[in-house]
Amino acid sequence: MVEMGMTKTAMDMLYKPESSIRQLLVMLLVNLTQLDAGITSLLQTEDEKMQGLYVMKLVRSFCRSSSETSEDAFEHVGSILVNISNQEAGRKLLLDPKRGLLKQIVRQFDSSSSLRRKGVFGTIRNCCFEAESQLQNLLLMSEFLWPALLLPVAGNKVYSEQDTSKMPLELGTVLSIERETVVDPEIRIQALEAIYLISLQEAGRRAFWSVNGPRIVQVGYEDVEDPKVMEAYEQLGSLLVNSGGTEEPSIEASK
């Protein structure tokens, strides 16, 4: 299907004003991008002038408020983004600061659609595999990235003023009040894995400490029951303890 030019056909039809099968076309692209050839085709890597255009259009559509239409035809774009970010070329495109695509995607982290949220967190986590070479580009969006990654793993406790005073406003304000917590284990694991990948880099760990991230992880760990989620917390906690810091986040001791 890829060889038959289905990617181009689907994209052309998707953006025709009279298109009434947008959701089906997006689902077709989800299926096509499960193949390496489909990802290459959507990234347009073989056409230097057009490279990334399809992805930019899809991200723009994905990031529009789903309430603008009665049917969220583009919510499955999140799955496409996860698929393309499985490839290095896809991750580099999304992380390109001139395009600012990942920054747009990250801001969808608190969408009311669980499908959108899963797409967002899967994409962030995949992009963090580039942390060694792209850390600066990741940290350029810290204002949005840290709330996206830390709020799902912060647990349900109201944090003390002592804790929140060491956090940026966008984190501290939310954590100082009662809130709806994220219970989806997949999202929590992906957030923790993304933080882990960032924290493998010394500058990433410094950035994490600077937002009082270890304290958030420590408090969030206290009420975890899912063994896989617990394992993800402990993997991150072990890294932070073994790599040193201004203080040691005693995750094990808090259980």
pLDDT in tens, 90-141: 999 999 999 999 999 999 999 989 999 999 999 999 999 999 999 999 999 9
Sequence-ordered list of residues with C-beta below 8 angstroms from that of 160, at least 6 positions apart, any chain: none
Q: What percent of the chain has pLDDT over 70?
A: 91
The 3-state secondary structure of 172-241, one letter per residue:
HHHHCCCCCCCCCHHHHHHHHHHHHHHHCCHHHHHHHHHCCHHHHHHHHHCCCCCHHHHHHHHHHHHHHH
Question: What average pLDDT does the segment 174-198 reach?
Answer: 95
Going by C-beta distance under 8 Å and a sequence separation of 6 or more, which residues neighbour residue 71?
A: 23
Residue 248: band (very low, low, confident or very high) from pLDDT cuts 50, 70, 90 = very low
Q: What is the Cα Rg of the chain in Å? A: 19
Dist. CA 188–CA 184, nearest whole Å: 6
